[in-house]
Amino acid sequence: MTNFTLRTQQILEILLSGKGPVTKQEIADQLGVSKRTVQREFGFLESDIRPYGLSLVTHKGKGIVLSGEPQNIEKLRSRIKAGSVEEAGIDERRRHLLFELLRDREPRKLYYYSQMLGVSETTVAGDMEALSDWFARNHLEVIRRPGYGVILSGSEGDYREAMRRFIHENRSRRGGKGSNSSALDSAGSSARKRHTEEAVTDILLNISGSGIYSLLNNDILARVYDVLVGMDDPGLRQLADNALTGLAIHIAIAIDRVQQGAVVNADEKGLEDLTSWDGYDLASRILRKMEEEFEITIPGVEISYILLHLRGSKIAYSGTAGDSPSRDDTVMRQLRGIDEEKLLDMIDEMVDIFNPAISYDLKCDEDFVRGLLVHLRPVIVRLFNHMNIFNPILPDILEEYPDVFKRCARAAAVIERETHETVCSEEIGFLAMHFGAAEERILERKKAARRVIIGVVCASGFGVARLMLTKLSNRLGDKATFRAYGKDEITPGVIADTDFFVSTLNLDSLGIDCVRISPLITASDLSQIEYRIQGYGQVRRHKQDTDFARKMDDVGIIARDLSSLLRKYRHYQVSPGVSFRELLRVLAMQVTDSLASAAKVIDSVTERERLNSQIFPEMEFCLLHSRSDAVTETIFVSCTPREAERFTDPSLKGIKAAVLLLMPVDDHRRIHADVLGRISAAFVRNEEFLSAIHAGQEKEVRGELTHELRTFFTEYVEKL
């Protein structure tokens, strides 16, 4: 018996409720999904309930009811209620989710998958957790970030290997005619199996539309590809890979539709005319092979569509040199005089209508022009012969790319003018795929991705800002350049030089683009920053000229700062029981020459503490820092509790050490901040530096300080 998906079970439960006819819109409203989603499910529902002796009957203007013998309806009801159905539904749902995660490279919200699968977001999250071991075997990982979505992370090779594994498992679990399990597992056929799985992998990873899942789920696509490869026909061997892929997808969709009872009608006169086309015999053999493989009768009109695929592909890759004159004459009659030169003129005009801004680039895109040229020949033949065509992803195109579709509809007016035939929505949808993909390629090439410049702001510019800067650089350093600033350093020049800012402070009054984050930098903070990086990375900036003479002056100031820091660094010991303010008073007295100056330092550091805490329990130290006119040089000192491992006063939260960083108030604030910022960053980056401070080892601290400042100076000079 059929294993129903959870969404199918929900629809059947509504139909089994016995409340009379119900419309698809009413079902959609009850399930909280779109009508289109319900219509897609109904495309498979008829065949799903057929084994139970049931059918769907539509009452015009009223809705749909289940029809069949009462005992068969009860049999279906029992089946749905049975636990085995629930387990099968879970297995099928997770397989579908696995497929979508492998195929879709865009971040999606849990809501997206919950709507697709007809379950809650919590259930989807649980399914992803259950699939984690499967992904891990292929070195893939499901990444979930608040505000960003869900995406599968891994290399391209791991993606493809995982998809091949999925296809192999999906094929292996099916038996019956067409599964080819014995043949594929026999000696000499493993290479063919591998080739088929690789080909189907390429198909599935490079197309959109989850409806393709049903083709794989029923093994249709892989079996179609097996048949085509197994025919070993010269006419098929000459096709390019993408041409054979397109043919396989088309035939798979046709077979799926036939199995669902859908019938395609066409002008029989047009079908008769095609018998003289080169490739007609091959198209007929393909049709017979598919009928044998799937044990179905495929309408003869499908020969015309297979032939159009073969004919178009042959024109593109091998020309028509092998055709006899009489057959070429037949082709031209079918195209009614629209030769290749005329087609190229039509393409030129269509491109101008579609997007004049990039028309030149489109006309220079050889892949696009050649692909569209190949596509237009069968389009025109279909129009002249009034052949219908099915476009399985038209709803997705209309929903996701309405603007592209609308512009292609205007461009299609060129075809209508030359053929005097109406171009239907299905044909316009296929044109949108050609035009949309080419436009995306060109626009992507025109984008100038670059490193984004981000300002990290705190009150002083060299304390908390430097700690955050180091953390952000470790996480996002390959995507952006980070610069630390004090709040009062955000001048018009700095704003012009910076893409956006991040800060723990409220900077709304400055009128800048600023992401407010936690000092701990949470996953949500990183997601917000990455989102802005993606946007700003596509916007060009004009690099300003630098003043070399000014930079040389800066080198002298930096050298004086570094010399002062190394000469005047000291480590002090204080009572373990001191309070925060007592600790600050002791250190201020050590680095100033008067009580008045010490008082200024105490006031400035205390004011800084009110804005944001300078105590970091997770790092077991406090970073006291400010800018003050009480000092004339940059200052760095440290201290630890005397004969104790930690400070005991509650105000110091059990930390092991404290450091004081001070910078003078003068015209060189930017330089002072950069120098002291290097020391602040070292607390995070250099474990030996922080460990030496914790231990109160003055000699070791000075050694690490020398290393950090020497490296800073070398890097600065090398950038000149």
Q: What is the CATH number of the domain that holds 509?
A: 3.40.50
CA atoms within 13 A on the CB side of 309: 24
Does one domain contain both 562 and 532? no
Q: List the structure tokens of 32.
A: 């909280």
Residue 67 has pLDDT above 70, yes or no: yes
Residue 81 has pLDDT above 50, yes or no: yes
Q: List the structure tokens of 23.
A: 């419309």
Does one domain contain both 431 and 502? no
Domain end residue (candidates: 391, 416, 441): 441
**Which is more confident, 310 or 431?**
431
Per-position DSSP letters for 329-385, written without gaps between them: HHHHHHHTT--HHHHHHHHHHHHHHH-GGGHHHHHT-HHHHHHHHHHHHHHHHHHHT
Does one domain contain both 613 and 482? no
Residue 177 has pLDDT above 70, yes or no: no
Domain end residue (candidates: 536, 557, 589): 536
Beta bridge partners of 305: none
Please enumerate in sequence order all residues whose Cβ is within 8 A of that of 179, keeping only pairs 6 or more positions apart, or say none.
171, 219, 223
C-alpha to C-alpha distances, 46 to 56, 454, 635, nearest whole angstrom: 7, 57, 81
Does one domain contain both 362 and 416? yes
Q: CB of 690 within 8 A of CB of 619?
A: yes
- Per-residue burial over 461-471, b if 16 or more Cβ lie within 10 Å, else e, is bbbbbbbbbbb
Residue 2 has pLDDT above 60, yes or no: no
Kindly indicate the confidence band of residue 268, based on its pLDDT and cuts at 50, 70 and 90: very low
Judged by average pLDDT, the poorest of 100-104, 478-482, 526-530 is 100-104
Average pLDDT on 358-372 reads 81
Residue 103 lies in a domain: no
Does one domain contain both 567 and 708? yes
pLDDT tens per residue across span 107-131: 778 887 887 777 778 788 888 888 8
Beta bridge partners of 452: 480
> What CATH code is carried by the domain that includes residue 44?
1.10.10.10
Q: How far apart are CA 113 and CA 37, in angstroms?
A: 13
pLDDT of residue 109: 81
Residue 239 lies in a domain: no
Domain end residue (candidates: 377, 407, 441): 441
The amino acid at 1? M
pLDDT of residue 720: 63
Q: Report residue 430: phi and psi, to 5°.
A: -70, -40
pLDDT of residue 542: 47
Residue 228 lies in a domain: no
Does one domain contain both 665 and 713? yes
Average pLDDT on 319-343 reads 55
> What CATH code is carried by the domain that includes residue 611?
3.40.930.10
**Which is more confident, 186 or 19?**
19
**Which is more confident, 17 or 419?**
419
**Which is more confident, 634 or 360?**
634
First and final C-alpha spacing in the chain: 75
Judged by average pLDDT, the poorest of 96-100, 199-203, 236-240, 382-386 is 199-203
Residue 126 lies in a domain: no
Does one domain contain both 525 and 614? no
C-alpha to C-alpha distances, 545 to 497, 536, 551, 660, nearest whole angstrom: 12, 21, 12, 36
Does one domain contain both 475 and 391? no
β-pairing verdict for 63-67 and 657-664? unpaired
Q: How far apart are CA 264 and CA 250, in angstroms?
A: 13
Q: Which domain holds residue 18?
A: 6-81
Domains: count for the chain: 4
Residue 691 has pLDDT above 50, yes or no: yes
pLDDT tens per residue across span 342-356: 888 899 999 999 998
Q: CB of 485 within 8 A of CB of 465?
A: yes
Residue 139 lies in a domain: no
Q: CB of 309 within 8 A of CB of 236?
A: no
Residue 688 lies in a domain: yes
Does one domain contain both 409 and 462? no
Does one domain contain both 376 and 504? no
C-alpha to C-alpha distances, 608 to 206, 467, 662, 694, nearest whole angstrom: 55, 15, 12, 23
Kindly indicate the confidence band of residue 654, based on its pLDDT and cuts at 50, 70 and 90: very high
Q: How far apart are CA 313 and CA 240, in angstroms?
A: 8
pLDDT of residue 428: 92
Residue 297 lies in a domain: no
Does one domain contain both 707 and 578? yes
pTM above 0.75, yes or no: no
- Give the DSSP letter of residue 22: B
> What CATH code is carried by the domain that includes residue 382?
1.10.1790.10
User: Which position has the token pair 């300002």?
Assistant: 455
Kindly indicate the confidence band of residue 180, based on its pLDDT and cuts at 50, 70 and 90: very low
Q: List the structure tokens of 266.
A: 């066409």
| CB atoms closer than 10 angstroms to residue 602 | 21
Q: How far apart are CA 35 and CA 27, in angstroms?
A: 8
Does one domain contain both 691 and 566? yes
Q: What Rg, from alpha-carbon coordinates, does the chain have?
A: 35
Q: CB of 228 within 8 A of CB of 244?
A: yes
Mean pLDDT of the chain: 77
Residue 497 lies in a domain: yes
Nearest partner of 227 among 277, 184, 166, judged by Cα: 184
